[in-house]
């Protein structure tokens, strides 16, 4: 059996994603599509519009055969760590190629990554520096060595997958397959295509409380019904921010400094600024808190780490312990999993035990519990305990 891997957030799943899944199978000749998808929080540190189980089911309806969860430790990270975790999961699952959308699919991403890696050297500090901006560092290297500069988000992620393949030693056995991005741009907020709208545009449309009919041209019918109901989670700025304020204002600086990425004086600055500007809203506070040194996404992720009380040591440990957690599978997907079962070397999780909650799933359980508490309506099931994978025929 031949499987093609896809890295995704599906926030939310739309026709462009369905096109990518179908095209990936067509180009590679694969009979199985394996997706590794972010859980309840996306790379920018914000809650996903729907929980991981709902998004996994929509992906299966849209053409995925297996959906694995990308562990929280990798999902809410800059591009190089996000890509490293995703590639590790897909290769462990048994894929022989990884397809991804790209604004410039004609580029040889692996060749560019080899040049960049050679330029940086085997012992470059960036590999162990979790604070630098990924795009800035590698774009400077690429521009200097090749004259090529990557500025589009999907191109940058494609480059990150290539770097991950090299770093993990998989470049010789896994092919990268760029697929030309169709329709709307990644960050496009308006809808101009009659069939494909960006996830950003669909999230904007959700805020306008539109009916099902407004979504059916761009997503499946089950997805349209969900989107018409609005986001599952409460608004971060309004509902989540007061709890973050409480956490920061009542925690000594020496303890805040133990939080992952609250380093180099950032904990002191966070405490000082939040004490001074207690009554401003989240957007205003972040605008004042932001500096040239850190991107908005980096600081947004740090706010989530702080709210979840994730220490540096906890994160470092989690990054060394990837696993395969099955969120859902079709009949074809279950057949593929069964075939590959004896070859998988990472831990495989189908249901969560209390031992896992206190061990390998500690961060994911914590993040899932926070998502549950911040849901607009009480959830019928917990995010992790008592759940089994979604099976779709």
Residues 12 and 49 sit within 8 Å (Cβ to Cβ): yes
- 162 burial type by CB count under 10 A (0-12 exposed, 13-18 middle, 19+ buried): buried
Residue 122 has what pLDDT? 47
DSSP string, 369-391: HHHHHTBSS--SS-SSTT---EE
Element (H, E) at 334: helix 331-340
Q: Which residues contact 371 (CB under 8 A, 6 or more apart)?
A: 40, 41, 47, 51, 233, 383
Residue showing tokens 């795009």: 135
Collapsed DSSP state (helix, strand, coil) of residue 235: coil
Ranges of each domain in the chain: 3-196, 236-316
Count of other CB atoms within 10 angstroms of residue 302: 23
- Per-residue tens of pLDDT for the chain, all 393 residues: 899 999 999 999 999 999 999 999 999 999 999 999 999 999 999 999 999 999 999 999 999 999 999 999 999 999 989 999 999 999 999 999 999 999 999 999 999 888 888 877 644 545 545 445 556 667 777 777 777 778 888 998 999 999 999 999 999 999 999 999 876 555 555 555 568 889 999 999 998 878 899 999 999 999 999 999 999 999 988 899 999 999 999 999 999 999 999 998 999 999 999 999 999 999 999 999 998 888 899 999 999 999 999 999 999 999 999 999 999 999 999 999 999 999 999 999 999 999 999 999 999 999 999 999 999 999 989 999 999 999 997
Of the candidates 150, 17, 379, the residue with the CA atom closest to the CA atom of residue 162: 150
Residue 148 has what pLDDT? 76
**Could you say which of 3.40.250.10, 3.20.20.10, 3.40.50.620, 3.40.50.300 is the CATH number of the domain covering 3-196?**
3.40.50.620
- For residue 265, give Cα distances in angstroms to 270, 276, 380, 391: 9, 17, 42, 48
The C-alpha atoms of residue 315 and residue 321 are separated, in whole angstroms, by 10
Alpha helices by DSSP H, listed for 173-290, are 199-207, 221-228, 241-249, 253-256, 266-276, 282-289
The strand pair at 324-330 and 66-70 is best described as antiparallel
For residue 293, what are its two tokens? 């040194």
Residue 380 has what pLDDT? 87
Residue 188 has what pLDDT? 52
Count of other CB atoms within 10 angstroms of residue 207: 10
The C-alpha atoms of residue 88 and residue 74 are separated, in whole angstroms, by 10
Residue 248 has what pLDDT? 97
Q: Which residues contact 2 (CB under 8 A, 6 or more apart)?
A: 28, 29, 30, 31, 32, 96
Residue 38 has what pLDDT? 98
- For residue 15, give Cα distances in angstroms to 190, 194, 207, 241, 382: 16, 11, 20, 33, 29
The phi, psi pair for 337, rounded to 5°, reads -60, -45
Collapsed DSSP state (helix, strand, coil) of residue 49: coil
Residue 237 has what pLDDT? 86
The answer to whether the Cα torsion of 231, 234, 236, 238 is positive or negative is positive
Of the candidates 118, 68, 60, 58, the residue with the CA atom closest to the CA atom of residue 88: 68
Of the candidates 73, 169, 43, 174, the residue with the CA atom closest to the CA atom of residue 117: 169
Residues 330 and 59 sit within 8 Å (Cβ to Cβ): no
For residue 186, what are its two tokens? 């990644």
The C-alpha atoms of residue 300 and residue 287 are separated, in whole angstroms, by 11
Q: Which residues contact 99 (CB under 8 A, 6 or more apart)?
A: 4, 5, 6, 20, 23, 24, 27, 28, 177, 178, 179
- Annotation: binding site for ATP: 7-20, 101, 154, 181
For residue 255, what are its two tokens? 């303890």
- Annotation: binding site: 7-20, 101, 154, 181
């Amino acid at each position: 059996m031949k499987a093609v891997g896809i890295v995704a957030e599906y926030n939310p799943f739309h026709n462009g994603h369905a096109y990518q899944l179908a095209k990936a199978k067509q180009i590679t000749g694969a009979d199985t599509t394996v997706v590794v998808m972010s859980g309840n929080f996306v790379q920018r540190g914000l809650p996903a519009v729907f929980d991981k189980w709902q998004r996994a089911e929509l992906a299966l309806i849209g053409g995925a055969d297996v959906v694995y969860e990308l562990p929280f430790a990798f999902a809410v990270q800059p591009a190089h760590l996000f890509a490293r975790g995703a590639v590790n999961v897909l290769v462990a699952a048994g894929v022989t190629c990884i397809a991804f959308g790209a604004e410039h699919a004609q580029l040889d991403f692996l060749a560019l990554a080899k040049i960049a890696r050679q330029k940086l050297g085997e012992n470059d500090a960036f590999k162990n520096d979790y604070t630098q901006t990924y795009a800035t560092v590698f774009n400077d290297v690429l521009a200097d060595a090749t004259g090529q500069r990557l500025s589009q988000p999907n191109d940058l992620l494609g480059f990150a997958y290539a770097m991950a393949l090299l770093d993990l030693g998989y470049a010789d056995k896994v092919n990268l397959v760029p697929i030309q991005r169709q329709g709307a741009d990644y960050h496009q907020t308006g809808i101009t295509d009659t069939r494909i709208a960006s996830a950003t545009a669909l999230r904007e449309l959700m805020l306008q409380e539109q009916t099902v009919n407004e979504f059916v041209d761009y997503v499946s019918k089950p997805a349209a019904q969900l989107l018409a109901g609005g986001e599952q989670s409460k608004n971060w700025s309004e509902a989540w921010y007061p709890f973050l304020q409480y956490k920061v204002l009542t925690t000594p600086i020496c303890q805040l400094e133990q939080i992952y990425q609250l380093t180099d004086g950032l904990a002191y600055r966070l405490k000082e600024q939040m004490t001074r500007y207690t009554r401003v809203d989240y957007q205003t506070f972040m605008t004042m808190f932001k500096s040239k040194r850190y991107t908005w996404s980096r600081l947004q992720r740090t706010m989530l780490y702080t709210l979840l009380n994730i220490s540096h040591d906890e994160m470092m440990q989690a990054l060394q312990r990837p696993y395969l957690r099955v969120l859902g599978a079709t009949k074809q997907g279950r057949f593929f999993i069964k075939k590959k079962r004896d070859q998988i070397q990472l831990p495989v999780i189908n249901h969560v035990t209390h031992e896992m909650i206190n061990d390998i799933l500690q961060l994911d359980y914590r993040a899932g519990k926070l998502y549950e508490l911040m849901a607009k309506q009480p959830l019928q099931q917990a995010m992790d305990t008592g759940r089994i994978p979604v099976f779709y025929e």
